[in-house]
Amino acid sequence: MKIRKFEWKDIKQVLEIENESFDKDRWDEIEFLKYYEEAGNGFIVCEEGARIIGYGIINNEGYIRSIAVRKDWRKKRIGKMILNEMERIAKENKNDILSLHVRVSNQDAIEFYHKNGFKDIMILPKVYHYEDGIYMEKRLKE
């Protein structure tokens, strides 16, 4: 198992993960292209053999756009591996904090981020058009 930079040839498998991971607000190929151009080295995949089992996108300012893992690979620390690599990238980019937002109903994600040192900062009303989000941060430097 290894983490590497996303390559456009990975898009089909990344879309499969996206579609099985999110019921609403799924990104299409055009959204991924936009974030691929924005994130550069911050768009990463976790690969087992030739199979992409998870991905993560973090921009140059330390904002985490997305993390997703195939359902059959969840609870196996793949998300943690991806998050650790994104934290390394953020530190390399000299970011002081990691930030993200998550749906208030996504308790699994909220618990995951709390376990990994993120703190709730504020509620973002209707950030998902139909649901509030929680803006979270993790300080990288004290």
Q: What residue spans define the domains of the chain? A: 1-95, 96-142
Query: What does the pLDDT profile of the chain (142 residues) look like in tens digits?
Result: 999 999 999 999 999 999 999 887 889 999 999 989 888 889 999 999 999 999 999 999 999 999 999 999 999 999 999 999 999 999 999 999 999 999 999 999 999 999 999 999 999 998 888 899 999 999 997 6
| SS3 state of residue 51 | strand
Residues ≥6 apart with Cβ < 8 Å to 49: none
| SS3 state of residue 16 | helix
Q: What CATH number should be reported for the domain whose range is 1-95?
A: 3.40.630.30
3-state DSSP helix/strand/coil percent for the chain, to nearest 5? 40, 30, 30
pTM: 0.93
Stated as kind and residue range, the H or E segment containing 24 is none
